[in-house]
A and B are shown apart, each in its own frame.
Chain A
Amino acid sequence: MINVNRLVKTFGATRAVDDVTFDVKPGEVLGFLGPNGAGKSTTIRMITCFLTPDSGTVNVDGHDTQLDSIEVRKLIGYLPENNPLYMDMDVTDYLNYIAEVRRIPGGRRKARVDEVIDICSLGAVRFKAIGELSKGFRQRVGLSQTLLHDPGFLILDEPTSGLDPTQIIEIRNLIREIGKEKAVMLSTHILPEVEATCDRVIIINKGKIAIEGGTNDLSRKAEGEAILHAAIKGPAPEIETKLSALEGADSAAVEKEIAPGHCRYIVRSAHGVDLSEQVFNAVVSNKWILTELSLEAVTLEDVFLQLTRSEESGA
């Protein structure tokens, strides 16, 4: 369990992290989300003992990062932002070096390095210099390094940045696989990533936690309106008035004319109100023809944009 308690870090005049408090529980994948420069990496660097907080504490399984730094580092596997690696080293040499610093005893070291190479599918490149590898393979090397000492906590700072879509999927699957046994905290500014991999999300903006909750809760929590798209064949003005008159509907308007007498309408309602049934009934009772009906799902993206935008207008 990682307890982050009232963490503050200032660089010059900017408060990069401003009174951040949260927990990472065992067995969960926590998404740490925020726009660039929100303070994600700074927070992570304080958890991993790379930076010292100005105030506040981080506690990892009972060890304080400032008082008991070495113990904390033993418990954490960390992939820093941009996946830094020694380009001139072989994959195996590099893993051996990390394993040595991690005090994996000489007898078990080779077996463990082989295991990790296997988990991350690095077999084909194990004797190549890291500098010669493609970005996807480098990312696996970075990830394999975090697994060597079988840590209870994995902290990954933007693990998929700069990868192509296939590589992203591979890395995500790998993270989810690993996340079954460990507590994983991953930061990202890509929203679908959180929806694809995380159980819980913390959205951070301008150094403060903006919102915290389960991935599904958050989408539900999104304030604003529900939007329904309906394509209907029939007389446009009549449809418009009848749809706006539906109970709960705020407005209805032609979105786009598909063909003469066949339009796409947009029906807006308060958040949480599902008008699809009523729209369908109206179509049936008026003997129009319904060709399409869809509810625009509120995504995490909307929550995110809303939060970051309202913060900005407030500031």
Chain B
Amino acid sequence: MYNIWTITKREFRSYFGSPVAYIFLVVFLLVSNWLYFQNFFLIGEASLRALFFYLPIIFIIIVPAITMRLWAEERKLGTIEILFTLPLNDSEAVIGKFIASFLFLTLNILLTLSIPITLSAIGNPDAGPMIGGYVGVLLIGGAYISIGLFASSITDNQIVAFIIGVVACFFIYIVGDAFIVMRAPGVLAQLFQFLGLAAHFQNIERGVIDSRDIIYYLSVIIFFISLTVAYIQQRR
């Protein structure tokens, strides 16, 4: 645990080692607020449904940008050789980096709390779906981060890591989307619905926190973290 935390601290701080992190936060806030408020006054509904609809889609671009440097940069600089000759396990380094990215994403998400705070001031929103939505957003974000983490581990080029990450996140998002599921043949449709991130998100977004959905997201996270560890070990 101690080692994981040491890695997490270094990674998290390195986000703020350059202005990129601040630019990132500002852009994320602008985009998410704009997408939410553009229809807000038309619909006139005090709920966060629109936000929770857009966030997983914004994440498809945003999360791979957060995770692309995690391993690609270590490989490019060669510091991976320092990291893996320090007295810590491969899995500790992988988990440490995962947590750092997750904390950075959480920071981004926390800043969107300005929206529900505004809503509470001007209307009377239902707290259940809002809390459920945020839990869901964190889970889906964590799943994306684990995918991006793996994408970053297979290349020493950040741009390549970013593109692989976006494609993979996009794919796993739309697989469970109604559009695909409805057109797929019977058995596949069920499988797709089970595998896709989006389908599980829809339940949580409605305020229904089902343990199956939570287990699903945690499984995705654990699967991709393990895949990253396995890949890194195999390369050595």
Instruction: Using CB atoms and an 8 Å cutoff, list the residues of chain A in contact with chain B.
Output: 45, 48-52, 70-71, 73-74, 76, 78, 80-82, 84-89, 93, 97-98, 100-103, 145
B86 touching A80, Cβ below 8 Å:
no
Q: For residue B85, which residues in chain A have a CB less than 8 angstroms away from its CB?
A: 48-50, 73, 76, 78, 80
A89 touching B82, Cβ below 8 Å:
no
Q: For residue B17, which residues in chain A have a CB less than 8 angstroms away from its CB?
A: 88-89
Nearest CB on A from B190, distance (A): 42
Closest to A74 in B: B87
Interface size counted on chain B using CB atoms at 8 A: 23
Question: Considering the chains assembled together, what is the distance between the CA atoms of A144 and B123 in angstroms?
Answer: 60
Nearest CB on B from A142, distance (A): 9
Nearest CB on A from B48, distance (A): 36
Given A89-B14, A97-B6, is A102 in contact with B87 using a C-beta cutoff of 8 Å? yes
Question: Considering the chains assembled together, what is the distance between the CA atoms of A163 and B200 in angstroms?
Answer: 57
Stretch of B30-38, B73-81, B205-213, B222-230 lying at the A interface: B73-81
B1-48 interface (Cβ within 8 A of A):
2-3, 6-7, 9-10, 13-14, 17-18
Q: For residue A102, which residues in chain B have a CB less than 8 angstroms away from its CB?
A: 86-87
Question: Considering the chains assembled together, what is the distance between the CA atoms of A101 and B9 in angstroms?
Answer: 11
Given A52-B236, A88-B17, A97-B6, is A145 in contact with B82 using a C-beta cutoff of 8 Å? yes
Closest to B76 in A: A84
Closest to B78 in A: A84
Question: Considering the chains assembled together, what is the distance between the CA atoms of A84 and B88 in angstroms?
Answer: 18
Q: For residue A87, which residues in chain B have a CB less than 8 angstroms away from its CB?
A: 77
- CB contact between A86 and one of B9, B77, B84 (< 8 Å): that residue: B77
Contact sample, A vs B, 10 pairs, CB 8 Å cutoff:
A45-B81, A50-B236, A70-B89, A73-B87, A74-B87, A80-B85, A81-B78, A100-B6, A101-B87, A101-B88
Instruction: Using CB atoms and an 8 Å cutoff, list the residues of chain B in contact with chain A.
Output: 2-3, 6-7, 9-10, 13-14, 17-18, 77-82, 84-89, 236
Nearest CB on B from A49, distance (A): 6
Closest to B234 in A: A52
- CB contact between B82 and one of A70, A80, A88, A93 (< 8 Å): that residue: A80
Q: For residue A98, which residues in chain B have a CB less than 8 angstroms away from its CB?
A: 82, 86
Given contacts A74-B87, A97-B9, A103-B2, list 12 more A-B pairs with CB under 8 A: A48-B85, A50-B84, A50-B236, A52-B236, A80-B81, A81-B78, A84-B80, A88-B17, A88-B18, A97-B6, A101-B6, A101-B87
Q: For residue B88, which residues in chain A have a CB less than 8 angstroms away from its CB?
A: 70, 101
Question: Considering the chains assembled together, what is the distance between the CA atoms of A162 and B10 in angstroms?
Answer: 28
Closest to A94 in B: B10
Q: For residue A76, which residues in chain B have a CB less than 8 angstroms away from its CB?
A: 85
Closest to A52 in B: B236
Q: For residue A48, which residues in chain B have a CB less than 8 angstroms away from its CB?
A: 85
Given A74-B87, A101-B88, A102-B87, is A80 in contact with B78 using a C-beta cutoff of 8 Å? yes
Nearest CB on B from A267, distance (A): 51
B78 touching A51, Cβ below 8 Å:
no
Question: Considering the chains assembled together, what is the distance between the CA atoms of A88 and B88 in angstroms?
Answer: 22
Question: Considering the chains assembled together, what is the distance between the CA atoms of A100 and B3 in angstroms?
Answer: 8
Nearest CB on B from A212, distance (A): 25
Nearest CB on B from A67, distance (A): 14
Question: Considering the chains assembled together, what is the distance between the CA atoms of A87 and B77 in angstroms?
Answer: 9
Question: Considering the chains assembled together, what is the distance between the CA atoms of A174 and B28 in angstroms?
Answer: 49
Q: For residue A78, which residues in chain B have a CB less than 8 angstroms away from its CB?
A: 82, 85
Question: Considering the chains assembled together, what is the distance between the CA atoms of A64 and B18 in angstroms?
Answer: 41
Q: For residue B236, which residues in chain A have a CB less than 8 angstroms away from its CB?
A: 50-52
Nearest CB on A from B123, distance (A): 44
Q: For residue A89, which residues in chain B have a CB less than 8 angstroms away from its CB?
A: 10, 14, 17
Q: For residue B13, which residues in chain A have a CB less than 8 angstroms away from its CB?
A: 93
Given A51-B236, A70-B89, A101-B87, is A84 in contact with B6 using a C-beta cutoff of 8 Å? no
Nearest CB on A from B178, distance (A): 44
Nearest CB on A from B92, distance (A): 10
Question: Considering the chains assembled together, what is the distance between the CA atoms of A70 and B79 in angstroms?
Answer: 18
Nearest CB on B from A11, distance (A): 11
